[in-house]
């Protein structure tokens, strides 16, 4: 058994398999999952687990160089936007339309579905490299 870090075996496998510029998506309960993209469904009830809890756990184990969000979050969900800006202050954060965001999810290695029930609580995390 793993001692620490990501304990969810499905997420741990995806993270271990990521290469530079590969992406994963952390999505709210309503984000559509494109056909053919691995869905890791963590949703238990509305709000559980939260977007923030899942992103925090992933960020502990993943080298992230870029985050993509939907432009609409700026008007509809300032709380989550502030969290993203704080959590990823050392990363590039890009915004695109929600329609473009959904198109980008088609190329993700996985979509991780949370129980979050707030609008536009979604992000695409792009893998960096751990050259130290």
Binding site, by residue number, is 28, 98, 120-122
Residues 84, 69 contacting (CB under 8 angstroms): yes
Sequence ranges of the binding site for substrate: 28, 98, 120-122
Which is nearest to 80 in space by CA: 38, 36, 129, 27? 27
Q: Give the catalytic positions in this structure.
A: 20
By the 8 A CB rule, do 110 and 25 touch? yes
69 has which bridge partners?
95
Torsion of CA 94, 106, 127, 92, to 10 degrees: 0
């Amino acid at each position: 058994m793993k001692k620490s870090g990501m304990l969810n075996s499905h997420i741990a496998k995806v993270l271990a398999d990521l290469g530079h510029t590969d992406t994963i998506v952390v999505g709210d309960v309503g984000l559509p999952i494109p056909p053919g993209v691995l869905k890791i469904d963590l949703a238990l009830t509305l709000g559980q687990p939260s977007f923030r809890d899942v992103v925090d756990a992933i960020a502990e184990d993943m080298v992230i160089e870029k985050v993509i969000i939907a432009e609409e979050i700026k008007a509809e969900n300032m709380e989550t936007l502030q969290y993203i800006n704080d959590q990823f202050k050392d990363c590039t954060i890009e915004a695109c339309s929600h329609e473009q965001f959904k198109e980008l999810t088609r190329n993700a290695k996985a979509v991780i579905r949370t129980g979050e029930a707030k609008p536009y609580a979604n992000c695409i995390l792009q893998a960096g490299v751990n050259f130290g």
